Amino acid sequence: MIDVEGSIVIDRPIGEVFDFVADQTNAPRWQNGLEQVRRVTDGPPGVGTKHVVVRKFLGRRLELINEYAHFEPNAEITFTGASGPSRFEVSYRTEETAEGTRLSCHMRMEQKGLFALADRVVAASLRRDFAANLRNLKALLETRAE
């Protein structure tokens, strides 16, 4: 089982941070290795919203579908998905702070079979990606506001 988390404070209002992250079509702008995100359900984001995601990870091109399982505006988004022998759940939580908005991310992934042998390598790569992606998001949102 892989369990990775990270957080960062972004000097922007909670609604702006939440809305930007909730619209996963924005994710290729701040997540390394993410090539494409396409919403496949109609309407605004909410429980049941599905996306097709194409990403490169550890030299492999992965295509998967994720679905919002929890959606609480300005508070939390949780989505789940699967790719081959891997199942995952990702949560983004926002909270107001004196400095802006704290965005906390948490990912839990379970890999089956031989893929589970690579858990340590995958977890280390995900930790690096989480930190870099959060810095990218902070820079993007704070620069966009200027």
pLDDT tens-digit series, residues 43-69: 989 999 999 999 886 677 888 899 999
Give the count of domains, the chain.
1
Closest CA to 25 of 47, 5, 40: 40
pLDDT of residue 145: 66
Angle among Cα 30, 35, 40 to the nearest 5 degrees reads: 100
Q: Are 106 and 5 in contact (CB under 8 A)?
A: yes
Range of the domain at 34: 2-145
Could you tell me which of 95, 86, 87, 66 has the C-alpha nearest to residue 78?
66
The pTM for the full model equals 0.89
- Residue 133 belongs to domain with CATH number: 3.30.530.20
